[in-house]
Amino acid sequence: MGGFALDCNQIRKVAANALITCNIHSFPIDCFAILKQYGFRVYSYLELQKKKPELYNLCISYSQDAFCINSLNLIAYNSQKSANRIRFSLMHELGHHLLRHRNDLPSNEDEANYFASNILAPRIAMYYAHLKSVNEVGQFFNLSSSAAYYAAQDFSEWCQDVRRNGMHSYDKDLYQHFYNPDYKGFVYSIRTCAFCGARVYNCLDFEAHCSGACKLPDEPVRKKTHAFTPLSDDDSRILRRLENKWLYDF
């Protein structure tokens, strides 16, 4: 992940600030709502081709996925791509905007990719979700397989960074933002019980349900998939000690 003109921790900080600014409290995030909060008008390439052919030609000449015209507060995207690729492309374009890119340097593309990965799947949220495979990362955060693999690799680097340097300020800010007093912990998912309408916290299943009377009779068993095993037992113990020192100062 090295080689950035702007370092990884700074990009993670920008992504964390965006989540807090947009008052995000659950994953997967709504990319269109986030862009709207930043004042962008968002069109598909097909819509733009009908309304403004000259802008469509400009966008498609630069990218087959998505393109941002800052001067017009406009982001256009290719609706014929997969939903997960669209999500990544939209956050990639937001990354260009928030990182104040003004040229086409290859390093800017790497930075925008890194921003997109971290706003879609913050590493601290991956830590608390206890995801066990690349597939689970992709399914929970709505990432493509390549984006999920990229995030899983970087998660290991994040863990090593925490071991060396402790929690950074952006992780502390995210913890405070996602801390839920009802749940008494970090909440990465808030869903609604399909049967009674109650809130369900930190449910990884797509069919959220309560643990009581509303519980489904046969819970789906998640398939075993290729694990990326990001944390060894020693890593987990070290991170828990660091977390306790950071949160409770002991």
| pLDDT confidence band for 193 (50 / 70 / 90) | confident
Q: Tell me which of 26 and 245 has the higher pLDDT.
A: 26
pLDDT at residue 234, rounded to an integer: 62
- Which own/partner pairs from 168-174 qualify as long-range (CB within 8 Å, at least 24 positions apart)? 168/9, 168/12, 168/13, 169/13, 170/9, 170/12, 170/13, 170/16, 170/17, 171/16, 171/123, 171/124, 172/246, 173/16, 173/17, 173/20, 174/16, 174/19, 174/20, 174/122, 174/124, 174/125
Q: For residue range 145-192, what is the model confidence (pLDDT) as tens digits?
A: 999 999 999 999 999 888 888 889 999 999 999 999 888 899 999 988
Residue 1 has pLDDT above 90, yes or no: no
Residue 224 has pLDDT above 50, yes or no: no
Q: For residue range 104-154, what is the model confidence (pLDDT) as tens digits?
A: 888 999 999 999 999 999 999 999 999 889 999 999 999 999 999 999 999
Residue 33 has pLDDT above 70, yes or no: yes
Q: For residue range 53-112, what is the model confidence (pLDDT) as tens digits?
A: 999 999 999 999 999 998 999 999 999 999 999 999 999 999 999 999 988 888 999 999
SS3 per residue for 217-243: CCCCCCCCCCECCCCCHHHHHHHHHHH
| Ramachandran area for residue 224 (φ above 0: left; ψ -120 to 50: alpha; else beta) | beta
pLDDT at residue 147, rounded to an integer: 96
Residue 4 has pLDDT above 70, yes or no: no
Burial letters for 73-97: b for 16+ Cβ neighbours within 10 Å, e otherwise?
A: ebbbbbeebeebbbbbbbbbbbbbb
pLDDT at residue 223, rounded to an integer: 39
Query: Could you tell me the domains of the chain?
Result: 8-169 (1.10.10.2910)
pLDDT at residue 206, rounded to an integer: 55
Could you give the CA distance from residue 223 to residue 126 in angstroms, rounded to a whole number?
Answer: 19
The counts of H helices and E strands in the chain are 11, 7
pLDDT at residue 110, rounded to an integer: 94
Q: Residue 22 CB: number of other CB atoms within 10 A?
A: 17
Q: Residue 112 CB: number of other CB atoms within 10 A?
A: 23
pLDDT at residue 216, rounded to an integer: 43
Q: How far is CA 46 from CA 52, 60, 70, 93, in A?
A: 10, 11, 20, 18
pTM over 0.85: no
